[in-house]
Amino acid sequence: MSWSFLNWSLVDVLWFFLALAFLLAYCIHKISAKNNESKDFFVLFQDLIRYGKTKSLKRANWLRLFDVPKRWFWHFYIVSVCWNGFLLFVNLNLIYHRQSYPSWLIAILDVLSGVPRPDSQVPQLSTALVQLLVWLHSLRRLLECLFVSIFSDGVMHVVQYLFGLGYYITLGLTVLCVDRIGKGTASLSQVDWLQVTGFVLFICASLLQHQSIVLLAGLRTGKSGAVETFAHRMPKGGCFQLVSCPHYFAELLIYVSLGFVFGGLSLTWWLVVLYVFFNQALAGQLSHELYVSKYQSYPKDRKAFIPFVL
């Protein structure tokens, strides 16, 4: 299925509208916060975009019925590890053993990409490399959720929870769609400086994100490592000196790095990056506003999301 305008595939349109939705949410939040709106629509809107420590809203009791624990974040990553591990497995089977994808997977990819794949076409190895990096990223985040992060009794909306579960499923399918569309992929024999840059950036961004998560967890533990409090404290150290949410900035860099591994020319993947940018910008802005309002000594020059910029 191909969309006539701009000749975009269905998966392109999906990520574009997701990016547009979060851009709109960001703008609505800024307007509603500036005007200090308290109408029911804005309360419902804020309830849908906030989670964890930022969900400090005066809400009707019926809205609390849709709360689920924020600590369920690990569910997202176990789904991703299993699903994207499976897709990597079937892709490697096609590359090295010429075993075709399951028919149901072929049907889904046909619809999303609008490009049927001939049985003789072998996937690009760069696609498998991106799949591997997505799987490693998900595995690291799963381990961090289980063994590093210290979750309080914070909550998220059930819509956010369901969205998160579907997100990594769609992401894995998108990686395969990029391969089908055939823009910006390359085999290992054609690895260039841009793809090497992508690998280096992926490693650096992953280390930055891990360091930030360790620092956040450290705010709730004592010198012995035992949990002392579940209260939210002012973050400091590392890249927290520059931005309120360096782990969100690192998330964006990770997706940018995958775009480089693809060769830098995939429109589909840069639409994914655009979505991640607006998604993380909104989450970062909410956290930044909380810190600024809660701590009088919070550094005035610290940005929310991107150092020196946003």
- The domain spans of the chain are 6-294
What per-residue confidence (pLDDT) applies to 185? 41
Report the SS3 class of residue 221: strand
Residues of the chain above pLDDT 90, percent: 52
Q: How confident is the model at residue 218 (pLDDT cuts 50, 70, 90)?
A: confident
Q: How confident is the model at residue 117 (pLDDT cuts 50, 70, 90)?
A: low
Q: Considering the entire predicted model, what is its pTM?
A: 0.91
Torsion of CA 174, 175, 179, 185, to 10 degrees: 130
Are the CB atoms for 274 and 15 separated by under 8 Å? yes
Could you tell me which residue, 101 or 186, shows the higher pLDDT? 101
**Residue whose C-alpha is closest to residue 276's, from 257, 305, 255:** 255
Are the CB atoms for 306 and 250 separated by under 8 Å? no
Are the CB atoms for 248 and 284 separated by under 8 Å? yes
5-16: pLDDT as tens digits: 567 889 999 999
Q: How confident is the model at residue 35 (pLDDT cuts 50, 70, 90)?
A: low
What value does the mean pLDDT take over residues 247-276? 94
β-pairing verdict for 67-69 and 155-157:
antiparallel
Residues of the chain above pLDDT 70, percent: 89
Report the SS3 class of residue 9: strand
Whole-angstrom distance, CA of residue 223 vs CA of residue 230: 16
220: how many CB neighbours lie within 10 A of its CB? 18
Whole-angstrom distance, CA of residue 71 vs CA of residue 252: 22
298 sits in which H/E element: none
Report the SS3 class of residue 34: helix
